[in-house]
């Protein structure tokens, strides 16, 4: 029996679904490792990895086995009761990341909101900021999620337009500018919330030494450094955490996406004792946060990431991919940048929108994502091989050098 035509799936989505996405014209039905297949049987190399949620590849068999086993035993208790997966998850992720305390949540945006609440509470109860006056510094062109609290300090008009009024308490500075951070800090500043690499903005890598300076400033002024590693963490940049590239430690680290290997919404706030230590029973929570199914899946996702050498592979293949992209001689390309397997090709404006290059890449068997009109984001699963990188580079070369009508 043949599958319905692609146009039928797309038309039904358009009829019944909210139009808050504009996906490429492909309908996927299966995935394995670095590849996905559409309903017509065509195979594609996934160069988005669900925004780094699939670092371990599609349908990793060991994560799948852990999920199936736990789903047959116990899926949800709420935090009204203990479960036998939460404590091992706490211990394993804390030991892996060097954290003192863990707060489990579901989505990345929930982790961000939880961190904001926690550092404000720390600011009032530990630092001594007057009640209601806590300030958090963020960066222009940030992306920390889609909740109302988060979009209130976005600088992207599409993200925040007509969603106000917004909550006060945030100051926006340029990304990669330590002097701007120092100038923005006041006695009421409780935290600096920042991405180690700005992914949605187009994979913007800060200048070398930036985070070393940021860490020093935050320590000097008793400001909590919150690193949003929801996309950059768990091996994506060739290190377990992106902060390790400059040898620093955040006060609060946010993880999500690859924390479940793409099987289940799992996120976590990791912190020193001071920040999460201010939370008392009843002051914050989540029905699904820390549920046994999530914990079992996350434990398996972390285990395969380390045991199968995915982090080291990301460093090696990322360098190969980056060098290969930079070797492509195309008048369309303005810049190639990235770290590990978090890469981007920025096109000259006269080359036209990046969307059409992503559509052309789809024809070549590669799925990538455009952002900010002229940038192609590239983030394959960390299990990609050298041969697969070389195969992809041939198709990027063909696409970036082609003439569009």
- The answer to whether position 176 is within a domain reads yes
In a domain, residue 28? The reply is no
| Inter-residue contact 130 to 188 (CB < 8 Å) | yes
Q: d(Cα 246, Cα 210) in Å, to the nearest integer?
A: 9
Does residue 127 fall inside a structural domain? yes
184 part of a folded domain:
yes
pLDDT tens per residue across span 193-249: 999 999 999 999 999 999 999 999 999 999 999 999 999 999 999 999 999 999 999
For residue 337, the model assigns a pLDDT of 98
List average pLDDT for each run of 10 residues in the chain, which is 405 residues long: 84 96 96 98 98 98 98 97 98 98 98 98 98 98 97 96 96 98 98 98 98 98 98 98 98 98 98 94 97 98 98 98 98 98 97 97 98 97 98 98 89
Q: Establish if 148 belongs to a structural domain.
A: yes
pTM of the model: 0.97
Q: Which residues are catalytic, by number?
A: 143, 228, 257
Closest CA to 377 of 366, 390, 365: 366
pLDDT for 3 equals 76
Report the alpha-carbon angle 18-19-22, nearest 5: 140
Instruction: List C-alpha distances in Å: 358 to 55, 165, 202, 392.
Output: 21, 36, 15, 13
Say if 387 falls within a structural domain. Answer: no
50: left (phi over 0), alpha (psi -120 to 50) or beta: left
In a domain, 133, yes or no: yes
Which pLDDT value is given to residue 2? 65
| d(C-alpha 342, C-alpha 35), whole Å | 18
Please state the domain count of the chain.
Answer: 1
CATH number at residue 296: 3.40.640.10
Query: By residue range, what is the domain housing residue 93?
Result: 61-307
Identify the pLDDT of residue 394.
98
393 in any annotated domain: no
pLDDT tens, position by position, 310-347 = 999 999 999 999 999 999 999 999 999 999 999 999 99
What pLDDT, on a 0 to 100 scale, did the predictor assign at position 404? 87
Residue recorded with tokens 């559509």 = 359
């Amino acid at each position: 029996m043949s599958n319905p035509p692609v146009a039928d799936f797309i038309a039904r989505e358009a009829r019944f679904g909210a139009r808050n996405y504009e996906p490429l014209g492909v309908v996927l039905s299966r995935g394995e490792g670095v590849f996905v297949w559409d309903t017509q049987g065509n195979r594609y190399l996934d160069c988005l990895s669900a925004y780094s949620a699939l670092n371990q590849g599609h349908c990793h068999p060991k994560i799948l086995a852990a999920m199936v086993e736990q789903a047959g035993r116990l899926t949800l208790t709420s935090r009204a009761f203990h479960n036998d997966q939460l404590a091992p998850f706490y211990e394993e992720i804390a030991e892996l990341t060097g954290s003192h305390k863990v707060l489990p949540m579901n989505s990345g945006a929930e982790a961000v909101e939880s961190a904001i609440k926690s550092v404000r509470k720390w600011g009032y109860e530990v630092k001594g900021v007057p009640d209601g006056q806590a300030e958090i510094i963020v960066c222009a062109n940030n992306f920390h999620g889609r909740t109302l609290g988060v979009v209130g300090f976005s600088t992207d008009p599409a993200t925040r337009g007509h969603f106000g009024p917004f909550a006060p308490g945030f100051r926006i500075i340029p990304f990669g500018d330590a002097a701007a951070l120092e100038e923005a800090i006041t006695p009421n500043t409780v935290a600096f919330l920042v991405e180690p690499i700005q992914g949605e903005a187009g994979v913007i890598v800060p200048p070398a030494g930036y985070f070393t300076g940021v860490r020093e400033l935050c320590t000097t002024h008793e400001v909590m450094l919150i690193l949003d590693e929801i996309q950059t963490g768990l091996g994506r940049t060739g290190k377990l955490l992106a902060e390790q590239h400059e040898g620093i430690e955040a006060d609060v680290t946010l993880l999500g996406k690859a924390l479940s290997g793409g099987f289940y919404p799992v996120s976590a706030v990791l912190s020193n004792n001071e920040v999460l230590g201010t939370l008392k029973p009843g002051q914050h929570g989540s029905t699904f946060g820390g549920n046994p199914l999530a914990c079992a899946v996350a434990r398996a996702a972390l285990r395969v990431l380390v045991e199968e050498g995915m982090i080291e592979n990301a460093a090696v293949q990322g360098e190969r991919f980056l060098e290969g992209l930079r070797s492509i001689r195309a008048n369309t390309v303005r810049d190639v940048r990235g770290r590990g397997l978090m890469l981007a090709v920025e096109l000259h404006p006269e080359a036209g929108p990046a969307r059409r290059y992503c559509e052309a890449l789809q024809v070549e068997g590669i799925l990538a994502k455009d952002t900010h009109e002229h940038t192609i984001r590239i983030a394959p699963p960390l299990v990609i091989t050298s041969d697969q990188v070389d195969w992809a580079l041939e198709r990027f070369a063909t696409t970036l050098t082609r003439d569009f009508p």
